[in-house]
Amino acid sequence: MTNINKGDLHILGTTIKLGESKEVNFNVANLHSSTPVNVPIIIERALKPGPTVLFTAGIHGDEVNGVEIVRQLIAKNINKPKCGTIMCMPVINIFGFINLTREFPDGRDLNRVFPGSPTGSLAGRVAHKLINDVIPNVDFIIDFHTGGSGRFNAPQLRFEKSNEELIALAKVFGAPFVLYSKNLSKSFRATCSKLGKPILLFEGGKSFHIDDVVTNSGVNGSKRILKHLGMLNTNIKSSKPRHDCVFIDDSKWIRAKYSGMFKASIHIGAYVLKGDVLGHITDPYGKFNYFVKAPNSGYIINVNEAPVVYQGDALFHISKKLKRVLS
């Protein structure tokens, strides 16, 4: 992260000088009622030059916990840097956020259409505008997500294993877990990586839900990153992680063997031994009770909180190969 902007920042037709604060409109499109829809980008620049960090959330409109994390960064003035520039986009998929849906109105998943096209679908046009008008101005990105379909994720960071720069930054962030995962085709993360923009993807909680533990993990990790970069305002305190960070090389989903009513009996983030009971599936008539057991020892990093499941549904995400890193 060697880029340091010493002059004016030119973004979306607006010029922002060192020491200035501005809210810039990322114009998405109009509603069918002709009402314009804008996504605000909150930009804070210190007088002293430094890196430009972008915090994003809401690529999926139902992932409100990520939106809450970025909201707190703004509300608590964490986004006012001692040096450099901090940009915040709390809600990228404003259409999905308004309707509390994951997708865009065209039915597309924004996180599967990058880098997009200026003449493509609505989602593709927004992706193209983000990649071409915003991302060239930043040096580092933290993108906040949550689990979907009623599945609760333990706070975790995701990126490809071979990236030593991101490994070092993940240790600074201090999330309980780091899950090595390949960049998905046409995702925001994959596109930023191809452009040489380091990006940490944070996962935590589940859709339509705000969880204090997950929120605190995201906010505190962001403060540690900013402190590490010399950007955290001296008025903001940053604490060390209260736990070790577990780096997970491999993991697997435990899926429902039967359909029925489901209840987990293990807490998210717990370490279990092979054969431990994780939950059970029953039928509505009290005639059937199947115990879901751990196929191997490991950490439970995702739990399905749905009360009813079908055969084949993902119930638990359990680590296989891992390494503990002391905080």
Overall average pLDDT of the 212-231 stretch: 98
CA distance 142 to 67: 12
Q: Which of 189, 224, 243 is a domain's end point? A: 243
- The DSSP secondary-structure symbol of 111 reads G
Provide the pLDDT for residue 28.
82
Give the tens place of pLDDT for each residue, 234-264. Answer: 999 999 998 889 999 999 999 999 999 999 9
What ranges in the chain are assigned the alpha helix state H?
A: 64-75, 94-99, 122-129, 164-173, 188-194, 212-228
Instruction: Based on the fold, state whether residues 29 and 135 are members of the same structural domain.
Output: yes
| Containing structural domain, residue 278 | 250-321
Q: Which of 193, 220, 243 is a domain's end point? A: 243
Distances (CA, A) of 118 to 66, 94, 123: 27, 18, 10
Instruction: Based on the fold, state whether residues 107 and 183 are members of the same structural domain.
Output: yes
Give the tens place of pLDDT for each residue, 157-178. Answer: 999 998 999 999 999 999 999 9
Provide the pLDDT for residue 37.
85
Give the tens place of pLDDT for each residue, 55-110. Answer: 999 999 999 999 999 999 999 999 999 999 999 999 999 999 988 899 998 899 99
Instruction: Based on the fold, state whether residues 160 and 182 are members of the same structural domain.
Output: yes
Is residue 32 domain-resident?
yes
Give the tens place of pLDDT for each residue, 12-63. Answer: 999 999 999 999 999 888 778 888 888 999 999 999 999 999 999 999 999 9
What CATH number has the domain bearing residue 186?
A: 3.40.630.10
Instruction: Based on the fold, state whether residues 75 and 141 are members of the same structural domain.
Output: yes
Give the tens place of pLDDT for each residue, 257-314. Answer: 999 999 999 999 999 999 999 999 999 999 999 999 999 999 999 999 999 999 999 9
Whether the per-residue pLDDT at 5 is higher than 80: the answer is: no
Provide the pLDDT for residue 326.
62
